[in-house]
Structure 1
Amino acid sequence: MSRKPLIGITAGLNDQEKYQVLSRYFMEAITTHGALPVMLPLTTDEELLASYAEQLDGFLFSGGGDVDPLFFGQLQQPACGSVDPLRDLHELTLARILLERKDKPVLGICRGLQVLNIALGGDIYQDLPSGYEGKLISHRQKQSAYYASHPVQVTEGSLLHLITRKERLMVNSLHHQAIHHAKGWNVCATAPDGVIEAAELPGHPFFIGVQWHPERLYETDPASSDLFRTFVDACRTM
């Protein structure tokens, strides 16, 4: 029996800041595809995070609330939601450690995509409806999270294209923020309105973020399952 890779998953705090919280769907997606999830402690200790980066086989930056705009050089706008600076600093510190190592697979989902972009020096829209320059499709769907509500165009030849074997994916949409300026990595999927839906790091075997929630789709969507399967395989072999 082959060893199951250990995958660290970032988590947030509940409203009273007493408990760490993590959606079970991230954990279930990892276990279903053959790995063991490890919920990371919410620490900003660089030495401790470097130890996790050494010991674990891969990392999933999970979804959650908004990132404090101070971390990408902006003041908070009225339409920005509640923020958790401790989680922000925890994830940004970990992301920069992993970017320096370049030897661990990384998957970012929704907020996770945005955090990775900020760690690379980019920024995000604090609120798409009030800040996006063009005409938007609906990015906060009213349907269940299990429903794929809009298409994304995948860049031919990208890692995402190689994983899914598709140039067009149907995805769910549960966000009001998104990447504004992608810095240091390549956009590999966009929505019909031009909003960035996925990005990947060139020259890295597996460092990718997606704006949608494949952990809610993989049971019925082969492309979402392929994303997790390829991620777990990379965690096993890198």
Structure 2
Amino acid sequence: MKPTIGITTATGWENHREFSKVSHCYADAVAAAGGVPVYIPIILDTSMADDYLRTLDGLLLSGGDEDVQPHHYGEGPLHGLNNVSPDRDLWEFALIKAAMAQNKPILGICRGCQILNVAMGGNLYQNIFQQCPGAGEHYPQKTEMHHLYHSVTIEQDSLIHRLFGDKLMVNSFHNMAVKKLAPCFKVTARSNEGVVEAIESISHPFIVAVQWHPEALISHHSHFIALFKAHVDACKSDPKVN
């Protein structure tokens, strides 16, 4: 059977109602990589996270417009902090904890990279343009998501290096970024000016996160499907925990 990959969602509002939403590009990427995509709504009862993960083979932490609340890493909000979603933060922390307890592979994308680092004890630049000296533009306002925007340099001895080599052109849509790295991770890619662009676990069999948006690139740059295939393959070999 194909492995089932749970994809986290964001909160949306329309016609006075609240919805769970996420770009269909995530499901398209998972399906193209050989997995079965399953959307995970935001649940207020975080105790259900363990039950959710028992029905899934892997977890994909999606991106989104909500910034991770800085009080989770001991800071107050700085000028420029965007949308926040307290319910999403708490739900994704619970999903990450459950996935790790059940040894399920995790792939984080953009916000997913940030929430992973915070969940494991790291912190973030709330706004790299204000806080990260020398940082270039990482959130172009009039660029389509499938356009390659800047390069990253990739560390050897990493999954990202095995998939993509030493250098890679990526897209970019983020204001926040990893600042202090959580102890369980290593940095595996940076932009030219040093912004963290990918991290991987040094202890868990498969926790990989990137700051760019590969799900939006695969239709125009097919080599990015390799990351989703690596995640799906890890989920095939990862036994469910009963």
For the criterion TM > 0.5, the same-fold answer is: yes
Cα deviation, 1:134-163, whole Å, max 9, x if unaligned, reads 212210123211111111001011121123
User: Using the alignment, how far apart are the partners of 1:95 and 1:223 within structure 2?
Assistant: 27
Q: Where in structure 2 are there 5+ consecutive unaligned residues?
A: none
Question: Structure 1 residues 74-83 or 38-47, which shifts more?
Answer: 38-47
Instruction: Write the letter of the residue equivalent to 2:206.
Output: F
Look up the match of 1:111: 111
Aligned pair 1:26/2:26, yes or no?
A: yes
Aligned to 2:176: 177
For 1:202 and 1:55, how far apart are their aligned partners in 2?
26
Aligned to 1:4: 2
- Name the structure 1 match of 2:138: 139
Deviation at 1:41, TM superposition (A): 2.4
* 1:32-54: CA deviation from partner (whole Å, max 9, x where unpaired): 11111111121243442101222
Residues 7 and 163 (structure 1), Cα distance of their counterparts in 2 relative to 1, 3 Å cut: same
**TM-score, with normalisation over the residues of structure 2?**
0.92
The yes-or-no answer on 1:37 pairing with 2:37 is yes
Segments of structure 1 that go 5 or more residues without pairing to the other structure are none
Q: Which moved further from structure 2: 17-26 or 81-90?
A: 17-26
Question: Which residue of 2 is the match for residue 98 of structure 1?
Answer: 99
**Which residue of 1 is the match for residue 84 of structure 2?**
83
Shift of 1:122: 0.4
CA shift, 1:98, in A, is 2.0
Equivalent residue pairs, number: 233
**SS at 1:108's partner residue?**
strand
The 8 Å contact of residues 44 and 93 in structure 1, kept in 2 or not, is answered as no
The 5 Å alignment of 1:150-189 reads: 150-164=150-164, 166-183=165-182, 184-189=184-189
Whether the 8 Å contact between 2:47 and 2:94 is mirrored in structure 1 is no
User: What's the TM-score, normalizing by structure 1?
Assistant: 0.93
Task: Using the TM superposition, give the Cα deviation of residue 220 of structure 1 relative to its aligned residue in structure 2, in angstroms.
Answer: 3.1
- Output the amino acid matched with 1:6: T
CA drift at 1:7: 0.6
Whole-angstrom CA distance in 2 between matches of 1:226 and 1:191: 20
What's the offset of the Cα at 1:196? Answer: 0.2
Task: Say whether the 8 Å CA contact 1:219–1:225 is kept in structure 2.
Answer: no
Output the amino acid matched with 1:180: K
Higher strand share: 2
CA contact (8 A) 1:155 1:189 kept: yes
Offset of residue 215 of structure 1: 0.4
Letter in 2 for 1:69: P
